[in-house]
Each structure stands twice: as C-alpha cells, then as structure tokens.
Amino acid sequence: MKRIIIPIIIAAVMSGCAPKAQNETAPAPNKGEILREILNARKSIRKFAEDKPVTDDVMLDILWAANGINREDGRRTAPSAVNAQDIVMYVCKEDGTYLYKPQTEELEKISGTDVRPIIASFNKFALTNPVVLLCSDYSKFARFSPEAAAKYGAMDAGYVSQNIYIYCAANNMATVACAPGMDNKAVQEALLLPETMVPLIYHPVGYPAE
Ligand SMILES: Cc1cc2nc3c(=O)[nH]c(=O)nc-3n(C[C@H](O)[C@H](O)[C@H](O)COP(=O)(O)O)c2cc1C
C-alpha cells in the first residue's frame, strides 16, 4: 500500500509553504494561524463513528505525519534522542498486525493475530478501530543505561503521539493516547517481538461519532 495523499493543511505546515492567496481581498491564513487552529482543535476523543472506516491511504498518511521521513537524510517528522529513530509503529486491526516501513511508506503484515484485546484490555473503546501501537526499539540505545533508554524511548514516543493528535485535529479525525494496562510481554509474544522492542503507547484512530 503506497501513501498517495498528503493533507493540504499538514503539507502546508510541514513544508513551510502556506497556501497562496487566491486574490487580494481574501488572503489565505498564514502558517501560524493554521497551526493555531489545528492546536485549538487537538483533544482526546474516545467515541468513534461506526460507519466510517479509516482507509489504507489515510492510515499511511497518519503514519507519515506521526513519524515518517521528511528529509533527504532520512530524518523524521518526530525528533528522537541522539537521532536514534527508535520508535517503530504497528497498525493493529481485526485481521492482524502490520509494521510501518518508513522508507517505502508501506505496511507489511507481520501477524494474523488481532492484538487489540491484549493492548486495550482497559480501554474497550479501542477494540473497534485500527490502533497505532508505538514501540521503542531499546537496542538503539544500547550504549546508554536501561534507565536512560526507558526515558528516551518514552519521550520519543510522546512526540510521535502528539503528531498523531495533530494529524487527527487537522483532518477532523478522532484519537486518544493510551498507555496503562498494556501487558508488554503478551504483546511481544503475540507479535514475536524481541524483548528490546518495548510497547509504550497506543492510539485508536477513526472519525468522531456524531
Ligand atoms: C501517556 C498518556 C496515557 C494516556 N492513557 C490513557 C488511557 O489509557 N485511556 C484514556 O482514555 N486516555 C488516556 N490518555 C488521555 C488523557 O486522559 C487525556 O490526554 C487527558 O484527559 C487530557 O484530555 P485531552 O487530551 O482531551 O486534552 C492518556 C494520555 C497520555 C498522554
């Protein structure tokens, strides 16, 4: 699946190119105004529309905004401690779990298991929608102490999480960051992840219920 759509607002904010005014009397909002509008709309939403699924293209767009490659040298939309780029994103759905590959902007199916009941045992509202699971690859911090790795991983996940919020706010979509109740060992076993790939936070995504 290839990402083909970049939302106009996000593209404008990220690329530094505010849309040009169509005429003298109706100037387009500047970047600061667009960003302010988006941040003003940022909030946690836990009730999702049942009749509006998230398409594959939209999901790839969310993932690019969250932690995709935005520069020639491979750096990302989210910062990371020592540029470790440790945050790995998985999409968890009814038919299985998919790994986001930022280099090709593709999703690769890695498991036929629906891990949402494990991930979201305390957040039942997340069981009906695709869930973006953020893991930190602690092996990227091997030269640091385990405490430092945990701290850097958590902070890096926070930036990616906020990018998901911002994308959803800009596109009238719904999401909420969720962390507690995640049985990391069970998630790792279900997805055959190494111990160093640590689930930190997850985001159900969808459209707000009317
Ligand atoms: C690290 C973290 C963990 C969170 N975990 C949950 C959660 O498990 N369940 C939930 O419903 N909301 C969770 N939230 C969302 C917060 O409850 C929410 O951000 C807070 O109530 C403020 O609301 P707002 O996001 O609309 O400003 C979490 C938020 C963060 C940042």
pLDDT (tens digit, 9 = 90+) per residue, 118-159? Answer: 998 889 999 999 999 999 999 999 999 999 999 999 999 999
Cα separation of 131 and 108, whole Å?
15
Q: State which H helix or E strand residue 58 sits in.
A: helix 56-67
Tokens (6 digits) for 3: 């990402």
- Bridge partners, 205 (sequence order): 175
- Look at residue 21 and tell me whether its pLDDT is greater than 50: no
- Ligand 1 centroid vs 111 CA: distance in angstroms? 28
The pLDDT value given to residue 28:
85
* 56-85 mean pLDDT: 98
The pLDDT value given to residue 24:
65
- Look at residue 15 and tell me whether its pLDDT is greater than 90: no
Mean of per-residue pLDDT scores for the chain:
90
Protein residue with its CA nearest to atom 29 in ligand 1: 177
- Ligand 1 centroid vs 176 CA: distance in angstroms? 6
The C-alpha torsion from 103 through 205 and 42 to 37, rounded to 10°, is 70
Domains of the chain as residue ranges with CATH: 8-18+28-206 (3.40.109.10)
Residue 88 CB–ligand 1 contact under 6 Å: no
Protein residue with its CA nearest to atom 13 in ligand 1: 178
